Amino acid sequence: MPAQPVKQKTCAQCGKLFPISMFTNYAQSSDGKHSWCRDCKQKKACLYNARPDEQQKIRARNLKRNYGITPQDYDRLYESQKGMCFLCGRAGKRTGLREGLAVDHNHQTGKIRGLLCNTCNRALGLFREDVTVLQRAVRYLDFHRGKS
């Protein structure tokens, strides 16, 4: 039986052809692999971690692109919530330049609702931001409270 051909892919960063094993998994891409090879991803990570000015630029670009706000807007919102998740009240832990709380926004209008911890932000997404389903979940929990 002939050997299976090794799948290959071209790195979008360096332009070199590599075996598919040189690419990390990435569920959102069409082939399930990241577009940059492991070496290029590593070089970018080293640059990012070594240069706080680069981190600041990336933070500003991501906040502007994803939510239409500046880092100063985020910081004001963070301070107005006293660094706490709007839903559960847990403190958002900021580490270096990493945000302590996720920006929650309406996916249809893009309007920012507040800052949430990752758990609460993911929970809203898992409930598809459907108020009816969330109300049913509350009734469900109330009904089963103390029955265990």
Residues 6+ apart with CB under 8 A from 33: 9, 20, 23, 24, 25, 26
Rounded average pLDDT over 94-121: 85
pTM over 0.75: no
Rounded average pLDDT over 87-96: 81
Bigger pLDDT: 105 vs 148 = 105
Number of other CB atoms surrounding residue 127 within 10 Å: 14
Rounded average pLDDT over 56-71: 92
Task: Decide if 87 is inside a domain.
Answer: yes
Rounded average pLDDT over 118-143: 94
Task: Decide if 62 is inside a domain.
Answer: no
Task: Decide if 1 is inside a domain.
Answer: no
Task: Decide if 57 is inside a domain.
Answer: no
Please give the tally of structural domains in the chain. Answer: 2
Rounded average pLDDT over 91-98: 68
Whole-number pLDDT of residue 45? 82
Task: Decide if 3 is inside a domain.
Answer: no
Rounded average pLDDT over 45-59: 80
Q: Which domain holds residue 32?
A: 8-49
Residues 75 and 119 in one domain: yes
111 pLDDT exceeds 60? yes
